[in-house]
Amino acid sequence: MNLVIKKIIFPLGVVVLIAFSLGPVLWQVLTSVKVNEAIAAVPNVYFPSWQQLTLEHYVELFTRRPLLRYLFNSALVSISSTLSCLAIGTPAAYALARLRIQREQIIMAGILTLTLFPFVLIFLELLEIIQGLKLGNSYLALIIPYTGINLPLTILVMRSFFQQLPKELEDAAKVDGYNTWQILTTIMLPITIPALVTTGILTFIFAWNEFIFALTFMTQETMKTLPVAAAQIGGSSVFEIPYGPIAAATVVGTLPLALLLFLCGRQIVQGLTAGAVKG
């Protein structure tokens, strides 16, 4: 029975899981390169022939709409908020992990609560703040909220990594005359690069995919992010749904994330497993 599970059931389960996970992605990619007749055909054309393939939907995205501007907006907001989270959250996480802070447990309970808090509940209050500060249609209208939302998670994750590092490293550095800031920047940060990459990717993905805040705070066409622009793609009439351009926009929006995960896959695995064994 164990041999059957190892040789047949387990590989079959892996194949089914992969197919289930990648099926929607493959469907979007195929839809983005089908001609309109193949998209609307009944029964469905799952795998189009060469005559049914086209790049017209991608050409339409780049010629009829400022897609490069949308990509720039999403990249700028995502990268800025990610760097802000790491710059603020990493020293805070180190302080909570290594320094003696009064009422540390209360602080950690608050951070954990904020991590689990549904931030859509503060949407109206945040909108009033953005309007009061006149930040609408500016990058800060998204960078500041994204940083605030992701900062608790950054602190929580980085603190757990700092706690796993041996204190002997810091003791040796203190003997050599290093202060707390020097220990963090010259000794601890190079060791925690996998953790920084993992945490940064998590915050980047959230900022890249966020929709509600971007839809409300950015009303000018040139300031919209890619998820908002993709959702607002319209057809030639109110009765037409442009499945091809929408699928092409989702593929273009997913490619940077897929490329990021492909390039940083090893660091992500190291970051996820670094805290499993105490050094």
What confidence tens digit (pLDDT) does each residue in 59-109 have?
Answer: 888 888 888 899 999 999 999 999 999 999 999 999 998 888 888 889 888
Domain span at residue 15 reads 2-54
In a domain, 278, yes or no: no
| Residue partners of 224: CB distance under 8 A and separation at least 6 | 70, 73, 214, 218, 232
CATH number at residue 159: 1.10.3720.10
Of the candidates 10, 34, 54, which is a domain's last residue? 54
Tell whether 99 and 33 lie within a shared domain. no
Residue 55, phi then psi, degrees to nearest 5: -110, 15
Residues 115 and 218 in one domain: yes
**Does some domain include residue 279?**
no
Instruction: Please tell me whether residues 144 and 235 are part of one structural domain.
Output: yes
Does 77 share its domain with 180? yes
Q: Is the confidence at residue 278, as pLDDT, over 50?
A: no
The residue among 245 and 270 whose pLDDT is bigger is 245
Q: Which pLDDT band holds residue 43 (cuts at 50, 70, 90)?
A: confident
Q: Model's pTM, two decimal places?
A: 0.84
Q: Does the residue 94 lie in any domain?
A: yes
d(CA 147, CA 85): 6
pLDDT digits (tens, 9 = 90+) for 176-191: 888 888 888 888 888 8
Buried b (16+ CB within 10 A) or exposed e, 157-182: bbbebbeebeeeebeebeeeebeeee
- Take residue 115 and report the two structure tokens written for it: 């991590």
Higher pLDDT, 143 or 117: 143
Task: Read off the amino acid at residue 51.
Answer: Q
Q: Which of 54, 71, 91 is the last residue of a domain?
A: 54
- How many domains, in total, are found in the chain? 2
- Higher confidence at residue 228 or residue 264? 228
Are 197 and 119 in the same domain? Answer: yes
Say whether pLDDT at 173 is over 90: no
16 and 68 part of one domain? no
| Same domain assignment for residues 161 and 203 | yes
182-238 confidence digits (pLDDT tens): 888 888 888 888 888 888 998 999 999 999 999 999 989 889 999 998 888 876 555
Same domain assignment for residues 79 and 189: yes
Which span out of 75-84, 243-252, 258-267 was modeled with the highest average pLDDT? 75-84
32 occurs within a structural domain: yes
Q: How confident is the model at residue 279 (pLDDT cuts 50, 70, 90)?
A: very low
Q: Are residues 129 and 225 in the same domain?
A: yes
Q: What angle do CA 33, 38, 42 make, to 5 degrees?
A: 145
Same domain, 76 and 146: yes
Give burial (CB, 10 Å; 0-12/13-18/19+) of 264.
middle
Q: Which of 14, 35, 54 is the last residue of a domain?
A: 54
Whether pLDDT at 241 is above 50: yes
184 found inside a domain: yes
User: 149 or 270, which is more confident?
Assistant: 149
pLDDT on residue 40: 82
Mean pLDDT, the chain, whole residue set: 85
Shared domain check, 255 and 126: yes
Q: Are residues 130 and 94 in the same domain?
A: yes
